[in-house]
C-alpha cells in the first residue's frame, strides 16, 4: 500500500496541502514539547534538562518500531521509503559543525522556526544566520564539493553497513535509550538546577 | 464601436475555448468590493442598533476604508477594460436581468454614500483640521443628523454589493465553475468575513475585537459550509461541472484553493479566533491577516480557474 | 520564582511529545515516502533570493544551478509548505500556552547583545553544517534514524558528540 503519494493513492496535487497539515502538527509538537526555548534545548549539553534527548529518542524509536510493524503488516513497503544517503565524512564533519552551531546558537532549524512563530527574536536572528550559512556554503561550493559529494556509500541502512539483524538492532537501541533516559534523570538530579 | 461577425462559435480568440480576458485587476476589484461591502454593512448595522458609541472602530475608523477600497477597486476595474472611455455607457441603461448593470448602479450610489459617511465623522476623525467653509460645516451637521437614514440605505446596498461580486461571475452560464447559485452568498460571506477581519485588525478595545471575532468565526463556519455546498453541487453535476470541480480538488488550483484558502485562510484563523474568544492570549492580527490573504487568494482562484472551465462540445 | 517553577510544567511530558512526534514521522513516511525536514526550506529561500537578485549568478554557480534549472521553481517544494505549517502549528501551541510575545530569551548572566551574536553565529554554523551533511537534526538525523539510515545515525552521533565536546567552551551562555 504505502507510501501513498509515490504509489498514486493520493493525487500529487495534494502533497503540498498534506505538507502544510503535517507541518502544523510538527510545529505544534515541537513547540508544545518546549523546543521553542533555546535554554531548554541547550540543557541537554549541560545536564539540567534532557527534554531534547528524551523527545528525540522516543520519537526515533517510536517511528522505527512503528514503521517496522507497518512493514510487517504490509501497510508500507520499507524498501520504497527514502533513505537518507550516507556520505561518510560529510555526515561526520557536517554533523560536528552542526553540533558546535547547536551549543552556540541553542537552536536547530526546525526548533528555531517553531520559536520564530512565537516571537523569539533570538530565533529570528538564528534563522537569518542559518540562511547566511547556507549562502556561504553555496558560494564556496567548489571548496566543499569533494567533501559534499565524496565518500558516498549509497542510500544504505545500518543493516547493510553493519550486517546486523534489524529487529535485534531496534530492540538493543530501545534498551539503550531506556538506560539513557534513566541515566539522564539521575544526572539531572545531581546538576545544579537552572530556571528559565 | 465596431461589431465583429463570427461565422463560428468556436475558437474565438480570448473567449473560446477558455476565457482570457479577466486579469488580476478583476480579482482585486472583487476583493475590495467585498471588503467594502462588509465594512459598510457592519457600520450601518451598528449604527441602526444605536451602538455606535460602543464600537467606534466599526463606524468611524474602519469606515474610512470603503471609499478608498471602492475607488481603488473601480480604478482597477476601469484599468482592465479594453475601452475605458465607454464606461459611461453602463449608465445609459438599467437592466434588471444583468448583474453588471446592477453592479454599476449600486456602485454609483454606494461609492458617494461611503464618502458621505466618512464626511459625517469628519470633525471626530480629524479634530485638528477644521473645516474652512461654513456650508461644509452645515453639510456635516446635516449628514450627522441623517446618519441613521444613510445606514438604512447602506444595509441593502452593501448586501447587494457583496452578493453582486459573486453574481457577476455566476451569471456567466458558459463557465461551469462560476455558473452556480452558491457563488453569490459565498462571495458575500467571504466579503463580510474580510470586513470583520479588518475591523479586528483596527479595533482598539477588547470588546469590539471580541464581538467581531465571534462574528468572523460564525462567518468562517458559514463560508466553509458554502464551499462544501458548492463542491458537492458540482460533484452531483454533469461532466463539465466535474471537470470544473477537478480544477479545485485535483488540479492546478488545488494547492491555492485548499492550502491557502480553506486551510490557511479559513480553518487556521477560525481555530485561532475560537481560542482567542475562549480567552487564550493570541495576537488577533495573525488570524485577521490570514483571512484577508485567504480572501484575496480566493478571488484569484475563482476568477482564474473559472476562465479555464468550459462546456464540452 | 513561583512563576518560573510553574513555567517548567507547561510543556508536555517529553515522552508524550516524542511519542507523538514518532507517530507523525510514521504518518509522514506512510503518506509521502520521506521524512520531515526543516533546513531545506531555508535553502529554498536562499536559492530564491539569490536567483531573484542575480539569475545569472544562480545559473553559473555549481550549487544553485541544481535548484534553478529550467522552470523548476525552488519555492515550489514540499518542505517549504511543511515549514509554513510549522510556523502555524507552533503559533497555535504557543497561543494555547500563552507563550507568544516578542522577546530575546537569554541567561540572566549574559546580555541580549551577546545572546543575539551567538544565536547568529550558531545559525551560520548550523546552516553550513546542514548543507555539508545534507540535512539537519530533523531531516538527516531524526528522519534518517526512522529508516535506520547509516548517514542519519552518523549525523546524529556527530551532532551530539561535538555538542558535548564543545559545550564546555560555551557554558557561560547557558548556565
What's the confidence (pLDDT) of residue C71? Answer: 54
The pLDDT tens digits of the residues spanning A54-66 come to 999 999 999 999 9
What's the confidence (pLDDT) of residue A56? Answer: 92
CB contact under 8 A, C95 and B280: yes
Model confidence at C1, pLDDT cuts 50, 70, 90, reads very low
Neighbours of chain B (3+ CB pairs under 8 A): A, C
Which residues in chain A are contacts of B251 at CB distance < 8 A? 13
| Nearest-angstrom CA–CA distance, A151 and B98 | 71
| Nearest-angstrom CA–CA distance, B66 and C57 | 45
What's the confidence (pLDDT) of residue A58? Answer: 94
B264 touches chain A (CB under 8 A): yes
Dihedral over alpha carbons C134, C137, C138, C144 (to 10 degrees): 60
What's the confidence (pLDDT) of residue C3? Answer: 47
CB contact under 8 A, B254 and A13: yes
Dihedral over alpha carbons B261, B263, B265, B268 (to 10 degrees): 180
Please name the residue that has the C-alpha cell 452593501: B158
| Nearest-angstrom CA–CA distance, A102 and A112 | 11
CB contact under 8 A, A101 and C129: yes
Per-residue pLDDT in tens (0 to 9) along chain B, 313 residues: 566 665 666 677 777 777 777 888 999 999 999 999 999 999 999 999 998 888 988 888 898 999 999 999 988 888 888 788 877 877 888 888 888 888 888 999 999 999 999 999 888 888 888 777 888 888 888 998 888 999 999 999 999 999 998 888 888 878 888 888 899 999 999 999 999 999 999 998 888 999 999 999 999 999 999 999 999 999 998 888 888 888 888 888 888 999 999 999 999 999 999 998 888 888 889 999 999 999 999 999 999 988 888 776 5
**CB A133, CB C126: distance < 8 Å:** yes
Check pLDDT > 80 for residue A148. Answer: yes
What's the confidence (pLDDT) of residue C73? Answer: 57
Residue of A nearest to B264 (CA): A20
Q: Where are the alpha helices (DSSP H) in A33-162?
A: 38-46, 51-73, 88-105, 109-117, 121-139, 141-149, 158-162
Residue of A nearest to B256 (CA): A17
Nearest to A16 among B251, B255, B268 (CB): B255
Check pLDDT > 70 for residue C74. Answer: no
| Nearest-angstrom CA–CA distance, B269 and A52 | 30
- Percent over 70 (pLDDT), chain A: 99
What's the confidence (pLDDT) of residue B144? Answer: 87
Cα-based distances in Å from B214 to B36, B44, B80, B272: 20, 18, 37, 11
Q: A30: how many CB neighbours lie within 10 A of its CB?
A: 27
The pLDDT tens digits of the residues spanning B178-212 come to 888 899 999 999 999 999 999 999 998 888 999 99
Least Cα separation, residue A10 to chain B (angstroms) = 10
Chain A, residues 4-43, CB within 8 A of chain B, namely: 11, 13-14, 16-17, 20-21, 24
pTM summary value: 0.90
What's the confidence (pLDDT) of residue A155? Answer: 86
Please name the residue that has the C-alpha cell 450610489: B109
| Nearest-angstrom CA–CA distance, B187 and B183 | 6
Which residues in chain B are contacts of A24 at CB distance < 8 A? 268
Check pLDDT > 50 for residue A49. Answer: yes
The pLDDT tens digits of the residues spanning C31-63 come to 888 888 888 888 888 888 888 888 888 888 888
Dihedral over alpha carbons B74, B76, B79, B84 (to 10 degrees): -10
Cα-based distances in Å from B225 to B33, B42, B106, B141, B255: 22, 22, 28, 44, 19
Amino acid at each position: 500500500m504505502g507510501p501513498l503519494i509515490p504509489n498514486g493513492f493520493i493525487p500529487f496535487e495534494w502533497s503540498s496541502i498534506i505538507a502544510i497539515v503535517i507541518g502544523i502538527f510538527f510545529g505544534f509538537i515541537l513547540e508544545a514539547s518546549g523546543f521553542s526555548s533555546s535554554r531548554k534545548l541547550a540543557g541537554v549539553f549541560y545536564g539540567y534538562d534532557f527534554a531534547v534527548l528524551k523527545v528525540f529518542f522516543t520519537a526515533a524509536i517510536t517511528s522505527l518500531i512503528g514503521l517496522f510493524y507497518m512493514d510487517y503488516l504490509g501497510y508500507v513497503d520499507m524498501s520504497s521509503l527514502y533513505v537518507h544517503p550516507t556520505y561518510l565524512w560529510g555526515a561526520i564533519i557536517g554533523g560536528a559543525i552542526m553540533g558546535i552551531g547547536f551549543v552556540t546558537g541553542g537552536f536547530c532549524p526546525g526548533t528555531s522556526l517553531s520559536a520564530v512563530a512565537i516571537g523569539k527574536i533570538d530565533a529570528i536572528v538564528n534563522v537569518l544566520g542559518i540562511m547566511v550559512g547556507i549562502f556561504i556554503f553555496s558560494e564556496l561550493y567548489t571548496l566543499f564539493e569533494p567533501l559534499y559529494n565524496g565518500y558516498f556509500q549509497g542510500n544504505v541502512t545500518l543493516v547493510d553497513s553493519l550486517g546486523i539483524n534489524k529487529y535485534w538492532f531496534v530492540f538493543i537501541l530501545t534498551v539503550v535509550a531506556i538506560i539513557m533516559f534513566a541515566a539522564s534523570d539521575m544526572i539531572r538530579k545531581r546538576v545544579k538546577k537552572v530556571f528559565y | 464601436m465596431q461589431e465583429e461577425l463570427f461565422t463560428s462559435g468556436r475558437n474565438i480568440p480570448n473567449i473560446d475555448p477558455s476565457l482570457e480576458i479577466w486579469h488580476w485587476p478583476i480579482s482585486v476589484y472583487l476583493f475590495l468590493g467585498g471588503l467594502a461591502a462588509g465594512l459598510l454593512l457592519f457600520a450601518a448595522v451598528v449604527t441602526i442598533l444605536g451602538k455606535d458609541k460602543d464600537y467606534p472602530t466599526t463606524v468611524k475608523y474602519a469606515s474610512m476604508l470603503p471609499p478608498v477600497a471602492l475607488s481603488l477597486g473601480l480604478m482597477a476595474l476601469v484599468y482592465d477594460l479594453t475601452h475605458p472611455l465607454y464606461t459611461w455607457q453602463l449608465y445609459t441603461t438599467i437592466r434588471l436581468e444583468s448583474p453588471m448593470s446592477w453592479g454599476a448602479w449600486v456602485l454609483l450610489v454606494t461609492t458617494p454614500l461611503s464618502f458621505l459617511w466618512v464626511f459625517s465623522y469628519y470633525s471626530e476623525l480629524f479634530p485638528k483640521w477644521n473645516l474652512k467653509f461654513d456650508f461644509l460645516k452645515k453639510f456635516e451637521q446635516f449628514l450627522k443628523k441623517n446618519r441613521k437614514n444613510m445606514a438604512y440605505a447602506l444595509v441593502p446596498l452593501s448586501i447587494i454589493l457583496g452578493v453582486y461580486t459573486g453574481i457577476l461571475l455566476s451569471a456567466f452560464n458558459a463557465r461551469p465553475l462560476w455558473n452556480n447559485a452558491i457563488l453569490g452568498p459565498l462571495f458575500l460571506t467571504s466579503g463580510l468575513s474580510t470586513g470583520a477581519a479588518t475591523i479586528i485588525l483596527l479595533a482598539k478595545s477588547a470588546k469590539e475585537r471580541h464581538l467581531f471575532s465571534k462574528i468572523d468565526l460564525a462567518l468562517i463556519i458559514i463560508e466553509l459550509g458554502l464551499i462544501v455546498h458548492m463542491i458537492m453541487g458540482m460533484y452531483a453535476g454533469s461532466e463539465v461541472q466535474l471537470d470544473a470541480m477537478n480544477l479545485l480538488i485535483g488540479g492546478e488550483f488545488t494547492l491555492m484553493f485548499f492550502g491557502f484558502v480553506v486551510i490557511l485562510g479559513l480553518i487556521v484563523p477560525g481555530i485561532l479566533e475560537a481560542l482567542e474568544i475562549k480567552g487564550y492570549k493570541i495576537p488577533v492580527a495573525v488570524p485577521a491577516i490570514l483571512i484577508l490573504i485567504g480572501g484575496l487568494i480566493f478571488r484569484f482562484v475563482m476568477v482564474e480557474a473559472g476562465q479555464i472551465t468550459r462546456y464540452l462540445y | 520564582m513561583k512563576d518560573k517553577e510553574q513555567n517548567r510544567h507547561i510543556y508536555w511530558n517529553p515522552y508524550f511529545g516524542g511519542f507523538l512526534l514518532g507517530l507523525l514521522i510514521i504518518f509522514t513516511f506512510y503518506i509521502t515516502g520521506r521524512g520531515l525536514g526543516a533546513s531545506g526550506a531555508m535553502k529554498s529561500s536562499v536559492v530564491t533570493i539569490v536567483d531573484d537578485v542575480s539569475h545569472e549568478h544562480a545559473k553559473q554557480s555549481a550549487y544553485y544551478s541544481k535548484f534553478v534549472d529550467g522552470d523548476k521553481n525552488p519555492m515550489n517544494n514540499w518542505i517549504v509548505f511543511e515549514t509554513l505549517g510549522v510556523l502555524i502549528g507552533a503559533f497555535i501551541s504557543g497561543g494555547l500556552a500563552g507563550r507568544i510575545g516578542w522577546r530575546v530569551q537569554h541567561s540572566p548572566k549574559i546580555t541580549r547583545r551577546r545572546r543575539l551574536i551567538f544565536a547568529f553565529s550558531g545559525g551560520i554554523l548550523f546552516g553550513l553544517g546542514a548543507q555539508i551533511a545534507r540535512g539537519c537534526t530533523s531531516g538527516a538525523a531524526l528522519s534518517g534514524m526512522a529508516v535506520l539510515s547509516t548517514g542519519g545515525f552518523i549525523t546524529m552521533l556527530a551532532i551530539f558528540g561535538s555538542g558535548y565536546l564543545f559545550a564546555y567552551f560555551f557554558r557561560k551562555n547557558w548556565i
